[in-house]
């Protein structure tokens, strides 16, 4: 059923719709991982990591809304259902139970890195298909790279800061 008519030709719409849907799933999944780690983190760095995780959650939730609404604006129905996320999520996830602060930092760096790699592929894919969507994906990537940096910096050993 086509409800919202697209302004893009069919082939470009296919590429763009896939890029937006995959990004939506990555962002929603990251927001869930962020909360899971926010609730389960333990260790001496609890406070700073607990708070940092909520920044990731806020950023990914906001970006997921932008990405989903871009899809809708192009006539592609966004699918953010839990069963869709469970079936298609492809980033590293959290193990169950309590998570040591060091484990959380490693988890967030690897999950964000995987998301960034996938986003950069979609930035290339949408360059011709839809530069407007590409622009949006570039902003999302910049923000995830900022988040990744903040966790990566957390990981640096205290006695080797040079
Ligand atoms: Fe909280």
Instruction: Tell me how far the alpha carbon of residue 48 lies from the centroid of ligand 1, in angstroms.
Output: 12
**pLDDT average, residue stretch 4-15:** 90
Question: For residue 162, what pLDDT is reported?
Answer: 54
Q: How does pLDDT run across 70-92, given as a tens digit for each residue?
A: 999 999 999 999 999 999 999 99
Q: How does pLDDT run across 15-73, given as a tens digit for each residue?
A: 999 999 999 999 999 999 999 999 999 999 999 999 999 999 999 999 999 999 999 99
pTM: 0.93
Instruction: Tell me how far the alpha carbon of residue 54 lies from the centroid of ligand 1, in angstroms.
Output: 7
Residues 136 and 140: their CA atoms lie apart, in Å, by: 6
3-state class percentages of the chain: helix first, strand second, coil last, to nearest 5? 75, 0, 25
Is residue 67 one of the residues assigned to a domain? yes
Is residue 162 one of the residues assigned to a domain? no
Instruction: Tell me how far the alpha carbon of residue 153 lies from the centroid of ligand 1, in angstroms.
Output: 22
CATH of the domain at 86: 1.20.1260.10
Is residue 106 one of the residues assigned to a domain? yes
Q: Range of 71's domain? A: 10-154
Asked if 119 and 101 touch (Cβ cutoff 8 Å), the reply is no
Residue in the structure block whose two tokens are 């086509």: 2
């Amino acid at each position: 059923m086509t409800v919202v008519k697209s302004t893009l030709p069919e082939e470009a719409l296919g590429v763009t719709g896939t890029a937006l849907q995959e990004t939506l799933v990555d962002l929603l999944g990251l927001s869930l991982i962020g909360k899971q780690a926010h609730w389960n983190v333990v260790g001496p760095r609890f406070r700073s990591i607990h708070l940092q995780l909520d920044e990731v959650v806020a950023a990914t939730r906001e970006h997921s809304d932008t990405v989903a609404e871009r899809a809708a604006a192009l006539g592609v129905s966004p699918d953010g259902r839990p069963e869709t996320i469970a079936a298609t999520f492809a980033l590293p996830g959290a193990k169950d139970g309590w998570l040591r602060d060091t484990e959380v930092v490693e988890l967030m760096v690897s999950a964000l890195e995987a998301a960034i790699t996938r986003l950069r592929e979609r930035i290339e894919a949408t360059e011709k298909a839809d530069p407007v969507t590409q622009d949006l994906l570039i902003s999302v990537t910049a923000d995830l790279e900022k988040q990744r940096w903040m966790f990566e910096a957390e990981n640096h050993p205290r006695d080797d800061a040079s």
